[in-house]
Every structure is written in C-alpha cells, then in structure tokens.
A and B are shown apart, each in its own frame.
Chain A
Amino acid sequence: MNKLFLLLAIIFMSFTSNAQTDAIDNFFESYQDDNDFTMVYVSPKMFKMVAKVAGDELDAELTSLVKDLKGLKILKTEKDARKYYKEAVKKIPTNEYEILMTARDDGQNIKILTKSKGDDIIEEVLLLVGGESEFILVSFVGNINLNDLAKIASSLDIEGAEHLEKLGKE
C-alpha cells in the first residue's frame, strides 16, 4: 500500500515536472486532494497499453481515436457546481485555447475548447460542463481528430448525433 502511494507520488511528480504546468494543470492539481471532487487520471503509459487492446474491443473509429490519445483527466464535483464552472472558465488562458463551441442544454453550460499546434493538429481538447447539479472538467491530451470524434457520436447512437454528420455532408 505504501509502495503504491510512493509510486503514485513519484509518477505524479515526474508528470507534473514534465508536463506544461499551465493553468488547467494547476486547476486539476488544486482539487485532486479535495474530497468533494472526483478525479480520474489516465496516464500516457496507460494509453499505450489501452491502444494494444483497443482494437479487440472497439470499432475502428473509436480505436483510432483512443490510439491518438496520450492523456485523460476528468474532474467532477456535485458541490457548488456553478461556482467551480465559473472559476474554471476564468482560469482558461484564452491565448492558448480556442473555443470550439459554447452551448446551453437543459440548464447546463457547455464549453469545448481546443489547444492547437499549427493549423491542423489539435493537442488538447477541453470539455467543461457546468450546471446546477454537477461540474465536469475533462482534458483530452493527444492529436485528436474531430472528424473521428463526430463519427463515434453516431456509433454510440446518441440523440442528435447525426446532426454533425448532416452538417458535414453539406
């Protein structure tokens, strides 16, 4: 148990020292020890292992998306959701992230932002959801193909998923 904690601490320290210590990283870090927050972190090392097994369990689009991912961080809380949503929005450095979309759905504010390298390669996608009952912040790190992302929406058969594809056919 102690070894595990030590290992976690060392890995996390190496992660923090290697990663760009930007505002979003800081935001995640500042709440990782807070009991009101749920945080899940999937490391780059894990994504290498996931990529090996992904092809056996997932369809082609999802597999290709997963293979391009290098990191995933999810932060969620059900306490003071609006407050934390506003705080997160304020902390996003607008010079690094571009807003892909802003939406309001069922009393939930939704923001999707991207961080790009050059014109075509997206390094990170941020998803912010802030409503009355929950605040979610998800960071996808990796070269994410938004086209593939639109496709998985249809494959997962979610209401309104075709809308993007229709737009795409236009």
Chain B
Amino acid sequence: MKYNIDNLLEKYWNAETSLQEETQLRSYFSSNDVAPEHYVHAPLFSFIGQQREEETNIDIFSTLTGIQSYDEIDTLVDQYLAVNTSLNDEAILKHYFASNNVKTKHKELIPLFYFTDIASNISSNIDIEKTILDYNNIDNLLDKYFNAETSLEEENTLKLYFSSNNIKDKHKTYLPMFQFLKQQSSVSSNTNIAKTIDRHDPSEIFDKEQSSIPVLNNKAKVINFRRLISALAAIFVIGFAAYNITKTDTNKEPQYKGKFVMLDSEEETAEALEITKQALAMLSRRMNTSSKTVSYSVSKAKTANIFR
C-alpha cells in the first residue's frame, strides 16, 4: 500500500497520473490512514480537495441559479416558510435541496422539500390519469385507432397521452407516429381555411378573409382561363372557316398586298400569265423611261442584240 502510494506520488509530481490515480491519491489523503512520511503532502491534497468543492459549488449555483452564497439560501428558506417566495425562488430551493451540497444546518429541511417534490410528481400523474382514464383504455383506443373507428374525441385523448411524459414502454413504438401527426396537423392548420373557420370565432375569420381572398381569386382566374380557351377555340374555328370562304373569293379576284403568294397550280395559270404580262410591261416601261436615264450600258445593249 505504502509502496504503491509512493509510486503514485512520484508519477503525480511528474504529471503522469491518470484521473483515476489522482482520485485514488485524494481518497488516501482524505482518509485517516495516511502514513506518517506522507503527512508533508496532506495539506496540499486537502487544499486541492477544498478548491474542487468550492469550484463545483460555484459552478452549480452561479450557472443554474445565479445565487452566489449560502446566505441567500437562508433568506429564501425564511421567505418560503413565510409563504412569500416566487415560483422561481422555489425552483432554486428545490434544486438546492435536491443537490448533494446541502449545508448541515439546512439538512433538517431536506425531507420537507423531498416530500414537495414527490407530491408535485404525484399530482401531475393524477391529472393525466384523470383525462385519459387508464392505460388499458389506451390499448383499446389504439386498437380502435388502427381500425379507423375512433371518434375525434378519442383521437384527442390519444394525442394528449402521447404528448405527455408518462408513456408506457409498450406504447413507445407508436410515439414517433403521433409526434409526426402532431407536427403535420400544426403545419396544415396554417393553410386550411376550413379548419380556422371551424375553430375560431367570426371576428377572427374576418381577419383571415384577407388572406383567403387571393385563393378565391386564383380559382376565378382558372375558370376564366378555361372560358378564354374555349372562346379562343370558337373564334379560331369561325375565323378559319371565314378565311377559307374569303380565300375562294380571292381566287377570282386576287389581292396580293401583304401576302406571300406562290403560283404553281393549274387553276392559277391565267393568274400567272396576267402577272407575268404585267411584270414584263413594267420592266419594259421602266426600260423606256430613257428620256430621264442617268446612265445606260451601251456595250451591254449591244451584246444583247437590241440595236442590230
């Protein structure tokens, strides 16, 4: 034993000890069997022990409750016994008495707080059980639920049960499903107008109306668009027929303006001849505006045998 402690101390000075070995050392120095040759080191370890205790105390009370000293606990206890504490103060007290750092002078009060803690748990259990009757009933309800035979009320009971903290282990497999359903219902209730109308009073519906108007407008647009399409189709058919009728008319008296006309069928022969004649006449007439001719290619005219 002694030999072992010597080894550990050596390692400790060399900063080579594991956490386990350090706790071993600490427990040794806090025990009553410290060997005389180790007395020298005892103050150091007892100091370290104190430091750790203070650190942990400060940790818990500064981070969790914001209370710095035990004096404040005293005043809180006084207030509590005088029925003068806020809920927050009571939570702090509960936390303090549930912790392992209760001062000896407060220890007599632990049973009191322990009891209130249990009592609060019990009362909450009773509340839930009141609303959902008993766990056998949940089994029945689940059976009915999966057979799609539950009423809305019974489904609400199930939802309530699965959102509580007292779910039996055998029911926990269904928990994700009910959580999912809960999420989904919260999502859809934002958009489902029918639901909001059912649940809320008329004044709220009036407020919601503004948001529901665009939806209705969209429907109206769809209908109008369909009507528009059918109207367009009708116009197109009529226009097409009219175009065909007028086209047969224009075959007799053609009007080319603004059109691309291609003459290549036998019925159009006379038309083609007339156009060719006009075109040739135009060319001939332009050629004969020679009184105002700016330039005339004589050599070209010669090769074309005009002047022979």
Contact = CB atoms under 8 A, between A and B. Distances in A.
Contacts of A164: 287-288, 290, 306
B80 to A, nearest CB: 95
Looking at A69, A146, A159, A167, which has the most chain B CB atoms within 10 Å of its CB?
A146
A146 B304 contact: yes
B263 interface: yes
A50 B269 contact: yes
A104 B279 contact: no
A41 B265 CA distance: 12
Interface string B230-274: 000000000010001000000000001111111111101110110
A153 B263 contact: no
B258 A104 contact: no
- Main SS class of interface, A: mixed
B300 interface: yes
Given A11-B262, A39-B259, A104-B292, A72 B284 contact: no
B261 A103 contact: no
B124 to A, nearest CB: 81
B284 A150 contact: yes
B263 A42 contact: yes
Nearest to B292: A105
Interface residues of A, number: 68
Contacts of B191: none
Given A37-B258, A74-B275, A99-B295, A46 B268 contact: yes
Given A11-B262, A66-B277, A138-B282, 18 more contacts: A1-B240, A38-B261, A39-B256, A40-B275, A49-B269, A54-B273, A62-B280, A98-B297, A100-B297, A100-B304, A112-B283, A114-B304, A120-B303, A136-B282, A146-B306, A152-B284, A156-B281, A163-B290
21 contacts: A37-B258, A40-B262, A42-B263, A43-B264, A46-B265, A53-B270, A58-B277, A62-B277, A100-B301, A102-B293, A103-B290, A129-B286, A136-B282, A147-B308, A150-B284, A153-B285, A158-B284, A158-B288, A160-B285, A160-B288, A168-B308
Interface of A: 1, 8, 11-12, 32-33, 35-43, 45-47, 49-50, 53-54, 57-58, 62, 65-66, 69, 72, 74, 98-105, 110, 112, 114, 116, 119-120, 122, 125, 127, 129, 136, 138, 140, 145-147, 149-150, 152-153, 156, 158-161, 163-164, 167-168, 170
Nearest 7 CB-CB pairings of A with B: A153-B284, A43-B264, A146-B304, A105-B289, A32-B260, A103-B293, A160-B288
